[in-house]
């Protein structure tokens, strides 16, 4: 049909997939919950250690799988690609780390770090090296940025589905080798662990590629144009939860860090055969559960704000969680895992409800600074077109 002379073609709006937003909402809740569990365990409430180990076994792989699933292959020049991804990933890191620093200055005894002038200067240098000290949760955005750089260089060689899944397996194995012989790898490359999360990005890229491969074969269905196979989703949800619950504690390490848990942020994966199956089972279960969940507004809206909520949770975790748990825990009998888990769950819900309106405010006023550089806001024009 011909357009009238003064009529302009309407831009096609991207189709939002409800289950994707719901899956991201579940994922960000697990981040809030997992960080509160860490605070309890740091204060030696060890009844919560199994729950912490379970959550950490798959919640970050879930986000990398989802990031790969929504990947769109565009014929961008590297300069345009780099600018957009730097503004949508690294600019929020800078913003939330600046806010995190300000909060740490106002509440110097609220977190786990004893801040002083020398420490501030040292950690600003670490931030330049890609290590977000003033908002530790934003490590994910730094790592995702590196993963996306990896894929920009590799995508021309990954045009077929078998190659994508093959590359995912290869990256997973390379990650296992790097983790196994880490000191040797550092001595050969000269790249330390905390430099732009390069080593962690190798492992993360395997999950990212898995998500891309799943999108190509429509493994999850329900792409916004078709119907979800609810029976299949129910089977995947039950099987995924069962496998994750049965296998997460079989991963006995060795781990890095103060507690024996998977932590992708510090390259702590434990036994590879115990990490990867549990991570994939948990991620697939979360996606299947999201597909079975009614598309209610709170979940959809939270899922659309996960980047901002991640940054806000980093501030809560770095400066407030430990103090809150220390103040509240003595009023409860936390020798029973049920009571301890319920308390951590309630605190996570309350934390998310506090952060949610702040996320909505930031998204409405300065979307360009918190992950949407193409948006037009009331205060700033789009940073990229």
Give me the average pLDDT of each 10-residue run along the chain (385 residues).
40 70 98 97 95 98 97 86 96 95 79 62 81 94 97 96 98 92 90 90 98 93 69 96 97 89 94 96 97 95 98 96 95 91 98 98 97 94 91
Cα–Cα dist 13/114, whole Å: 48
- The residues with which 268 forms a beta bridge, in sequence order, are 263
Backbone angles phi, psi at 263, to 5 degrees: -145, 100
Burial 316-337 (b: 16+ CB within 10 A, else e): bbbbbbbebbeeebeeeebeee
Q: What is the pLDDT of residue 257?
A: 80
Q: What is the pLDDT of residue 3?
A: 38
Q: Collapse the DSSP code of 268 into the 3-class scheme (helix H, G, I; strand E, B; otherwise coil) and give the result.
A: strand
- CB neighbour list of residue 59: distance below 8 Å, 6 or more residues apart: 27, 30, 31, 34, 282, 286
Half-sphere exposure of 294 toward its Cβ, with a 13 Å CA cutoff? 3
Total residues belonging to the chain:
385
CB 104 within 8 A of CB 113: yes
Pick from 165, 200, 162, 160: nearest CA to 179: 200
Secondary structure of the chain: what % helix, strand, coil (to 5)? 70, 0, 30
> What is the model's pTM?
0.93
- Domain ranges (residues) in the chain: 19-369
Q: What is the pLDDT of residue 11?
A: 47
CB 161 within 8 A of CB 213: yes
Q: What is the pLDDT of residue 228?
A: 84
Half-sphere exposure of 256 toward its Cβ, with a 13 Å CA cutoff? 11
- The residues with which 263 forms a beta bridge, in sequence order, are 268
């Amino acid at each position: 049909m011909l357009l009238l002379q003064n009529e302009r073609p309407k831009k096609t709006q991207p189709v939002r997939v409800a289950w994707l937003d719901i899956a991201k909402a579940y994922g960000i809740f697990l981040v809030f919950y997992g960080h509160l569990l860490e605070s309890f365990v740091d204060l030696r409430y060890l009844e919560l250690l199994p729950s912490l180990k379970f959550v950490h076994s798959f919640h970050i792989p879930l986000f990398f799988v989802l990031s790969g699933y929504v990947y769109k292959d565009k014929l961008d020049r590297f300069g345009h690609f780099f600018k957009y991804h730097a503004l949508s990933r690294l600019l929020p890191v800078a913003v939330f780390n600046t806010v995190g620093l300000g909060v740490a200055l106002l509440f110097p005894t609220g977190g786990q770090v004893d801040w002083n002038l020398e420490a501030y200067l040292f950690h600003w240098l670490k931030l330049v090296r890609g290590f977000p000290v003033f908002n530790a949760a934003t490590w994910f955005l730094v790592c995702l940025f590196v993963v996306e750089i990896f894929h920009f260089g590799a995508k021309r060689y990954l045009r077929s589905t078998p190659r994508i899944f093959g590359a995912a397996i290869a990256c997973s194995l390379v990650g296992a080798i790097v983790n196994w012989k880490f000191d040797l790898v550092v001595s050969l490359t000269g790249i330390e662990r905390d430099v732009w999360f390069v080593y962690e990005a190798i492992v993360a890229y395997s999950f990212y590629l898995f998500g891309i491969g799943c999108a190509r074969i429509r493994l999850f269905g329900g792409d916004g144009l078709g119907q979800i196979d609810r029976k299949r989703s129910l089977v995947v949800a039950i099987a995924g939860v069962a496998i994750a619950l049965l296998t997460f504690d079989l991963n006995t390490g060795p781990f890095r860090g103060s507690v024996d848990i998977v932590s992708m942020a510090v390259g702590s994966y434990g036994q590879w055969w115990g990490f990867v199956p549990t991570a994939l089972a948990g991620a697939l279960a979360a996606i299947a559960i999201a597909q079975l969940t009614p598309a209610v507004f709170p979940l959809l809206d939270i899922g659309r704000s996960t980047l901002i909520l991640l940054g806000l949770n980093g501030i809560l975790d770095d400066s407030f969680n430990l103090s809150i748990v220390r103040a509240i825990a003595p009023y409860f009998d936390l020798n029973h895992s049920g009571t301890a888990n319920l308390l951590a769950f309630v605190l996570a819900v309350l934390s998310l409800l506090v952060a949610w309106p702040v996320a909505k405010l930031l998204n409405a006023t300065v979307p360009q600074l918190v992950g949407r550089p193409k948006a037009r806001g009331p205060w700033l024009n789009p940073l990229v077109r």
